[in-house]
Structure 1
Amino acid sequence: MNTDPTLRPPGFGRALPVFTVDVEDWFQVNAFEPHVARSQWEQLESRVERNTDRLLQLCADTGARGTFFTLGWVAERFPALIRRIAQQGHEVASHGYWHQRIPTVSESEFREDVRRARAVLEDASGTAVRGYRAPSFSLTDEVPWAARVLVEEGYTYDSSRFPIARRGYGSAVADVAPHVLSTPAGPLHEYPPAVWPIAGFKVPVAGGGWFRQFPAWVTQTGLAQVLRHGRPAVFYLHPWEVDPGQPRLAVGALTRVRHYRGLDQCATQLEVLLRRFDFVSFRELFAAS
Structure 2
Amino acid sequence: MTVYNPAINALTVDVEDYFHVAAFDKTINAADWDALPQRVERNTDILLQHFSDHNATATFFILGWVAKRYPSLVQRIHNAGHEVASHGFSHAKATSQTPEQFLQDISSAKQLLQSIIGTEVIGYRAPSFSIGKTNQWAFAALQQAGYVYSSSTYPVIHDLYGTPDWPQKPYQRPEGIWEYPMPVWNKLGKQLPIAGGGYFRLLPYWLSKKGIDGFLAQSDTPYMFYFHPWEIDPEQPRIANASVKSKFRHYTNLGRMEAKLLRLLNDYQWRSVRDVYKL
> For residues 126-161 of structure 1, what are the alpha-carbon distances to aligned partners after superposition, in whole Å with 9 as ceiling and x for unaligned?
221000000000011110200010011100101111
Using the size of structure 2 for normalisation, the TM-score is 0.96
1:5 aligns with: none
Q: Deviations over 1:202-230 (max 9, x none)?
A: 11111100101111112212222222322
Tell me, yes or no, if the aligned pair for 1:17 and 1:227 is still in contact at 8 Å. no
- Unmatched 5+ stretches in structure 2: none
In the other structure, the counterpart of 2:172 is: 180
Cα distance in 1 for partners of 2:244, 2:5 equals 40
Match among 19, 27, 50 for residue 11 of structure 2 = 19
Find the aligned partners of 1:221 and 1:127 in 2 and give their Cα distance.
38
- Is residue 36 from structure 1 mapped to residue 28 from structure 2 by the alignment? yes
Q: Aligned partner of 1:222: which letter?
A: G
TM-score (norm 1): 0.93
1:4 match: none
Aligned counterpart in structure 1 of residue 251 of structure 2, from 257, 260, 272? 260
1:123 and 2:112 aligned: no
**Paired amino acid for 2:76:** R
Match of 1:239 among 214, 218, 229: 229
1:248 and 2:238 correspond: yes
Distance of aligned partners of 1:27 and 1:190 in 2 relative to their CA distance in 1, 3 Å threshold: same
1:235 alignment partner AA:
F
Aligned AA (1:22): D
Q: Residue 192 of structure 2 aligns to which amino acid in structure 1? A: V
Which amino acid is 1:144 matched to?
Q
| Distance in 2 of aligned mates of 1:180 and 1:90 | 24
Question: What is the aligned counterpart of 2:127 among 121, 135, 148?
Answer: 135
Letter in 2 for 1:88: A
Report the alpha carbon displacement of residue 12 of structure 1 after superposing the two structures with TM.
6.1
Q: Secondary structure in 2 aligned to 1:69?
A: strand
The match for 2:142 is: 150
Compared with structure 1, are the counterparts of its residues 211 and 284 closer, same or farther at alpha carbon in structure 2 (3 Å cutoff)?
A: same
| 1-structure distance, mates of 2:277, 2:194 | 22
Q: Say if 1:14 and 1:230, in contact at 8 Å, map to a contact too.
A: no
Return the offset for 1:49. 0.2
Q: How many residues are treated as equivalent by the alignment?
A: 276
Q: Report deviation, 1:286.
A: 3.2
In the TM superposition, what is the alpha-carbon distance from 1:248 to its structure 2 partner? 0.5
Question: Which position in structure 1 is the counterpart of 2:266?
Answer: 275
Q: CA deviation at 1:273?
A: 0.2
Residue identity over aligned pairs, in percent, reads: 41
Partner Cα distance (2:55, 2:197) in 1: 21
2:210 aligned with 1:221: yes
Out of 204, 211, 214, the residue aligned to residue 193 of structure 2 is 204
Alpha-carbon shift at residue 254 of structure 1 (Å): 1.2
Uncovered stretches (5+) of structure 1, i.e. residues with no partner: 1-7
Distance 1:42 1:255 in 2: 22
What SS class does the counterpart of residue 41 from structure 2 fall into?
helix
Q: Structure 1 stretch 217-226 or stretch 135-144: which is displaced more? A: 217-226
User: Which amino acid in 2 is paired with 1:219?
Assistant: S
**Distance in 1 separating the partners of 2:216 and 2:150:** 20
